């Protein structure tokens, strides 16, 4: 049986209260990529209210401080930029716009095949959603219509980034937990990981380790939702 070579870093969010952009995750990012220089292909497609150039500059400012270079796929032929890079980074924003554009440039199968053979992948928010089987547990408004909701399927479970427990007084809409429960009624076979802000999942081969200081909330149809502690290997419980 072939060895599982997947190596992913999936972040709930990019901005955490009290920190600059991606600052809360710098140690994890450095630990993930290591000390050697990495040329990283950046996918900015989830960005909607700012230009791809601006998005690239914002991300490059962080990654260059760690010794890595960023080249956004909008600077040329996206497939060629990915093929000539050492890793891939997928930024947050609107998940529907991200997936639609990934389909438009026929990148889904390329990214999947690269990651399955050891190509490193880091994604935050929408970029974490993209790594899941589908984008059906995103929080985003469907401002555009992708070809399909099928995503990279690099992990077996769904992620709900920015997971919130809050139910504001006087608010009569569904809570985040209720919306996830609706998804599970129609998708019995899937687990959903409520990934709170500041939390990260590091996928290294068959291990899926929860990083950060917060618990994650686990949902499965027919089971009571429960919490897992940082350091837990999700692969041992999501079966």
Confidence grade of residue 1 (pLDDT, cut at 50, 70, 90):
very low
**Residue 109 region, left (φ>0) first, then alpha (ψ -120 to 50), else beta?**
alpha
Mean pLDDT confidence for 88-116: 98
10: helix, strand or coil:
strand
In this structure, which CATH number among 1.10.760.10, 3.40.50.880, 3.30.70.1530, 3.40.640.10 belongs to the domain 7-236? 3.40.50.880
Q: What is the pTM of this model?
A: 0.95
pLDDT in tens, 152-184: 999 999 999 999 987 667 776 789 999 999 999
Mean pLDDT confidence for 84-113: 98
State the pLDDT at residue 17.
Answer: 86
List, by residue number, the catalytic residues: 125, 140, 162
pLDDT in tens, 21-76: 999 999 999 999 999 999 999 999 999 999 999 999 999 999 999 999 999 999 99
- Tell me which H or E stretch contains 210: strand 207-211
| Residue labelled with tokens 């992913």 | 8
């Amino acid at each position: 049986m072939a060895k599982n070579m997947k190596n992913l870093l999936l972040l709930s969010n990019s901005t955490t209260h009290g920190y600059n952009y991606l600052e809360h995750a710098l140690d994890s990012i450095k630990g993930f990529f290591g000390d050697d220089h990495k040329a990283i292909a950046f996918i900015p497609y989830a960005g909607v209210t700012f230009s791809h150039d601006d998005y690239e500059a914002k991300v490059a400012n962080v990654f260059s401080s760690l010794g890595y270079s960023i080249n956004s796929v909008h600077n040329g032929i996206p497939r060629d930029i990915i093929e000539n890079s050492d890793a891939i980074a997928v930024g947050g924003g609107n998940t529907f716009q991200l997936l639609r554009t990934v389909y438009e440039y026929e990148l889904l199968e390329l990214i999947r095949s690269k990651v399955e053979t050891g190509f490193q992948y880091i994604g935050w928010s929408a970029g974490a959603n993209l790594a899941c089987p589908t984008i059906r547990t995103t929080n985003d408004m469907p401002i555009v219509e992708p070809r399909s909701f099928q995503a990279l399927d690099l992990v077996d479970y769904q992620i709900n980034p920015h997971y919130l427990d809050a139910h504001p007084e006087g608010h009569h809409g569904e809570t985040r937990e209720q919306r996830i429960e609706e998804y599970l009624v129609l998708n019995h076979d899937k687990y959903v990981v409520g990934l709170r802000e500041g939390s990260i999942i590091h996928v290294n081969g068959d291990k899926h380790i929860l990083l950060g200081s917060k618990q994650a909330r686990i949902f499965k149809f027919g089971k009571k939702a429960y919490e897992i502690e940082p350091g837990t290997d999700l692969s041992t419980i999501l079966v």
